[in-house]
Structure 1
Amino acid sequence: MGNVQRSVTRAWSLLLVISLLFLTSCSSRPVASDMPPPDPLAGVVADTDYLISAGDLLTVQVFQIEELERQVRVDNSGRITLPLIGTIKAAGLSEDQLQKQITELYSKTYLQDPQVTVLVDEFTGRRVTVSGAVTKPGLYPVVGSKLTLQQAIAQAEGVSQLASRRNVVVFRQIDGEKKIARFDLPAIEKGEMPDPEIYGGDIVVVYRSDARLLLRTVLELTPFVMVWRAYR
């Protein structure tokens, strides 16, 4: 039992040293202006193959029939409720598949050749993690077809007073490897650097300026820091 405890202690000591090295070198890493998009399976990408998930917000429109237009959220059972046709399953279907299903249901009894459009307004199935020195750390959906770094931070209600705004780090899976890039938020806000796109599955960390608090943040992310290489 003593040997196990000593092994665990040594392991944590090693993690602490690695975390300190990462912390020390963070400011010397080149500031990135962009990152390649993630691997297709690293996060759910907003394209025609996206499958609707519970929690997604949908807009359903029937051409020239405004009374049937609805903005509905997919419930926890994966269903939505629409006028005339009632409750139907939406989760697990693409926009086109759900559109076809709704068209068939309306055309059976109520309408002749209805033209139905389904749009996903909030992709809950595509989520990003925003943590560190922000007001409300958490897991946030990608709203719309595109999310930028500034928008992701805004969803977390902005950075806190302890934030090191020049040390905003994004973790992402690229070419089968977990990689990292550091961004300078003031430079982005001034337009000196582009506001990079954030994808589902990304982890955004706003590091803290206080060394001890920053170290605590790094330690919380040790499993990621251990295996993710710097992207330059």
Structure 2
Amino acid sequence: MPTPEAHVPVQDYRIGPLDTVSITVFQEPDLSVKDVVVEASGTLSLPLLGKTQVAGLTTSELAADLQAKYGARYVRNPQVNVTITNPVSQQVTVEGNVIQPGSYPVAGRMTLLRALASARGPTRMAALDEVVVFRVVNGQRMGALFDVNAIRKGRAPDPQIMGDDMVIVGFNAVKGAYRDFLQTAPVFAIFRNF
């Protein structure tokens, strides 16, 4: 039986400004480049082609584009391989009740559990059944609610996190009030409302 995660559609990483890429043209070392940073304009300077727009393309789309361009004028049946050696343009922001809130790079296949792990995990007061992921879809901001406990137990798929997503972990008011009570009770040594 496949795991629930197997049903989650995976979207390829899209190259963006300041990502570092390597491009290999098989048996053409003069056309290959290693560890080149994409300019802020989203372009790379490539041998024979000059400035080439690469931002917004996946590695396979860029490879196909370069094969067509090199094949049309310079190399017979070129085989191009593109790898992202340092992805930095796509970030996920993790906020709320996590140990280390902040922005983290989306490298490889980032999932919700991996995003939470990047933020060093949820706090003790986190409401793991109230984790919201915000994302822009077709120019509209949308959100989805996830239950991390169900994901951890395999009852729900671990959703893919994409660049510019925002993950917000909710606050468990009961746990928080109980913890606040425990922290203040020894100091005052009296019964208090909480």
Q: Aligned-residue CA RMSD in angstroms?
A: 4.4
Correspondences of 1:60-209 after superposition (within 5 Å):
60-63=23-26, 70-74=34-38, 92=55, 94=57, 95=59, 96=61, 100=66, 104=70, 114-120=78-84, 124-144=88-108, 146-174=109-137, 177-209=140-172
* Distance in 2, Cα, partners of 1:69 & 1:139: 29
TM-score scaled by length of structure 1: 0.50
Distance 1:61 1:157, change over 3 A: farther
* Distance in 2, Cα, partners of 1:77 & 1:182: 35
Q: How many matched pairs?
A: 164
Which one is further off, 67-76 or 127-136? 67-76
TM-score scaled by length of structure 2: 0.57
Q: Greater relative contact order (Cα 8 A, min sep 6): structure 1 or 2?
A: 1
Distance 1:195 1:115, change over 3 A: same
Unaligned stretches of 5+ residues in structure 2: 178-194
* Distance in 2, Cα, partners of 1:177 & 1:77: 24
Shift of 1:196: 1.4
Identity %: 34
Shift of 1:188: 0.9
Residue-by-residue CA offset, 1:147-179 (whole Å, 9 max, x unaligned): 211122222232233322222111234576543
User: Going by fraction, where is helix more abundant, 1 or 2?
Assistant: 1
Does the CA contact (< 8 Å) of 1:131 and 1:138 recur in 2? yes
* Distance in 2, Cα, partners of 1:162 & 1:137: 14
* Distance in 2, Cα, partners of 1:175 & 1:72: 30
* Distance in 2, Cα, partners of 1:176 & 1:77: 21
* Distance in 2, Cα, partners of 1:134 & 1:140: 13
1:59 lines up with 2:25 in the alignment? no
Unaligned stretches of 5+ residues in structure 1: 1-32, 38-44, 215-232
